[in-house]
Structure 1
């Protein structure tokens, strides 16, 4: 039934999703060129508000749970599992007060209305996966911006999307690099559920009725801990939330 409904609802969803991207492209440009970072940030926040709630056109539900008292006066490294592109708008919107920046593939900085503009000018790190030196350099620059502006970063340490929702082993590289530059950053795991179900049949039809969930888990103080131990603790928290403990 979800797949059958998806044939119809996907058309409606894609229409409003891409309309939102097209509408916010000039809005972002004006905000950034004439009013600077703060105005651009607000435009990006509202872009992702509309992108998040476009999920309703698929009959999906959206729920964000954050019972943690997270600081606003220190950088945060959010560590999340990654299931689909539909993870991201909700993360940006619901965590907007933490100025979350993403580490993205450099290919995404071209050709996508609104998204490419934000990746170019929003303050994140755009990395070339074929050039490890460039990638590390960009992550270091992001860490410096986090220190200077008290921004946060979002890292998907699986390295790629999980097409079936099963958690992949976490890699420590990006988190370890950021912690070298921003050793005072707080590590905060985020568990994402059911985003993969939207694209379980591919780009068309999208699946209807998915119950999207983002849950902010207990913060981890990295002081006096090895990066691999911090990453393992974050992974374990997410595994417990997703009920995917190792065999």
Structure 2
């Protein structure tokens, strides 16, 4: 039934989702060009509020849970599982007071209304996956901006989306690189549930009637811990929320 209604409601969703991208593209440019970063960020936050709200056209509910008083005067590394492209607008909106930035493929900086201009102007890291030196350099620059401005960054340690909702083993490289530059950053896991179901049949039809959840988990103080240990802790806590088997490291 979810798929059936998806055939009817997906065009409606895409129309309004695309409309928001087109409307906010020139708004972002004007805000940045004439009023600077703060105005641009407000426009991006507003855009992602509307993109998140578009889920109502698919009859999907949005639930964001955060029981922790996270600091705004300290950089934060949010580490999350990744299930679909629809994870990102909600993360930007709900984490807006933390100035959440992303590490994105450089290919996305061209050709996509609103998204490409935000990636170019918003202060994140745009990396060439075929050029490891460039990628590390961009992440280091992002880390410096985090340090200077008390920004946060959202990383997806799985590397690619889990299309069936099953977690892949988390890689520690992103955490390690950022902590080298921003050793005082707080590490905060975020568990995402059910967004993979929206795209389980691909781009069309999207499916309907899902309870989409974003849950902020207990922050991790990185002092005295190796990046591998921190990343395993992130993965373990997210697996608990998703009720998936925990990958314990092998002992040699």
Q: Which TM-score applies when normalising by structure 1?
A: 0.99
* Structure 1 residue aligned with 2:87: 87
Instruction: Give, in whole Å, the separation in 2 of the partners of 1:78 and 1:95.
Output: 9
* Structure 2 residue aligned with 1:52: 52
Instruction: Give, in whole Å, the separation in 1 of the partners of 2:210 and 2:201.
Output: 13
* Structure 2 residue aligned with 1:238: 238
Native 8 Å contact 2:6 2:208 kept in 1: yes
* Structure 2 residue aligned with 1:166: 166
Native 8 Å contact 2:48 2:93 kept in 1: yes
DSSP-derived class of the 1:214 partner: strand
* Structure 1 residue aligned with 2:147: 147
Instruction: Give, in whole Å, the separation in 1 of the partners of 2:119 and 2:111.
Output: 11
State the 4+ residue runs in structure 1 displaced beyond 6 angstroms. Answer: none
DSSP-derived class of the 1:200 partner: coil
Instruction: Give, in whole Å, the separation in 2 of the partners of 1:34 and 1:135.
Output: 30
* Structure 2 residue aligned with 1:130: 130
Instruction: Give, in whole Å, the separation in 2 of the partners of 1:245 and 1:53.
Output: 32
Gapped regions of structure 1 (runs ≥ 5): none
Gapped regions of structure 2 (runs ≥ 5): 248-252
Q: Which TM-score applies when normalising by structure 2?
A: 0.97
Q: How many residues align?
A: 247
* Structure 2 residue aligned with 1:113: 113
Deviation of 1:164 after TM superposition, in Å, equals 0.4
Deviation of 1:69 after TM superposition, in Å, equals 1.1
Q: Does 1:204 align with 2:215?
A: no
* Structure 2 residue aligned with 1:99: 99
